[in-house]
């Protein structure tokens, strides 16, 4: 029997194709009460757009060099070294994150689709944010071709 717990996840997933779309979501998805985790922050170019829109931001990257540079450029933002696949390290950040932003190299192509879904599911299950925004062209394309049965529109497209 399928594990029903996996269907209880309430997190919304927002898939964007490129960095322009990724940043466009900030206006719509980040609120002043939000505690945001940004994964793959590099040297903080998106972090400076998120930080003024939310209550708190923790921006992380696997690269120590990127984090060092980000800290120098933006001393008002909390930057930490973290491997996204180490969710226990994310828990140790000690925050109740309400939104998560993910822009990691290597997640755009179709070959990485399973990695993206595994990563999103892991963060949704463990940290339970309201929403995760991810930069993944493959996920956006895949999602655009999916219809959840029972939600409109549920019919087949005519004659194709």
Ligand X SMILES: C[S@@+](CC[C@H](N)C(=O)[O-])C[C@H]1O[C@@H](n2cnc3c(N)ncnc32)[C@H](O)[C@@H]1O
Tell me the three state secondary structure of residue 32. Answer: coil
Judged by CB, which is closer to ligand X: 5, or 36? 36
Q: Residue count at the site for ligand X (CB under 6 A)? A: 17
For ligand X, the binding residue among 17, 53, 56, 63 (CB under 6 A) is 63
Q: Binder to ligand X among 104, 124, 131, 132 (CB under 6 A)?
A: 104
The residue within the footprint of ligand X, chosen from 25, 46, 98, 112 (CB under 6 A), is 46
Q: Which residues contact 50 (CB under 8 A, 6 or more apart)?
A: 26, 30, 36, 38, 57, 59, 101
How far apart (Å, rounded) are the C-alpha atoms in residues 147 and 155? Answer: 9
* Binding flags for ligand X, 114-133, as an x/- string (CB under 6 A): --------------------
| Interaction of residue 85 with ligand X, rule CB under 6 A | yes
- How many residues does this entry show for the chain? 160
Which residue from 26, 30, 36, 39 is in contact with ligand X, where contact means CB under 6 A?
A: 39
Q: Does 45 bind ligand X (CB under 6 A)?
A: yes
How many whole angstroms separate alpha carbon 41 and alpha carbon 84? 11
Strands 78-81 and 99-102: unpaired
Q: Where are the alpha helices (DSSP H) in 30-155?
A: 47-50, 64-73, 87-92, 113-126, 137-144
Instruction: Considering the complex, state which of residue 106 and residue 143 has its C-beta at the smaller distance from ligand X.
Output: 106
Query: Which of 6, 105, 109, 114 forms a contact with ligand X (CB under 6 A)?
Result: 105
Q: Which residues bind ligand X (CB under 6 A)?
A: 19, 39-42, 45-46, 61-63, 66, 83-85, 103-105
């Amino acid at each position: 029997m399928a594990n029903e717990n996996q269907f209880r996840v309430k997190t919304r997933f927002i898939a964007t194709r490129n960095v322009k779309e990724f940043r466009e979501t900030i206006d719509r998805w980040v609120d002043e009460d939000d505690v945001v985790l940004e994964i793959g922050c590099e040297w903080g170019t998106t972090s400076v757009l998120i930080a003024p829109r939310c209550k708190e931001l923790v921006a992380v990257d696997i690269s120590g060099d990127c984090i060092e540079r980000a800290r120098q450029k933006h001393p008002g933002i909390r930057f930490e070294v973290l491997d996204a696949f180490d969710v226990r390290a994310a828990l140790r950040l000690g925050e109740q994150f309400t939104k998560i932003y993910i822009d990691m190299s290597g997640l755009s192509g179709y070959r990485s689709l399973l990695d993206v879904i595994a990563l999103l599911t892991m963060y949704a299950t463990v940290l339970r944010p309201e929403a995760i925004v991810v930069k993944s062209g493959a996920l956006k394309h895949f999602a655009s071709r999916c219809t959840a049965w029972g939600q409109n529109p549920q019919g087949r497209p005519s004659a194709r």
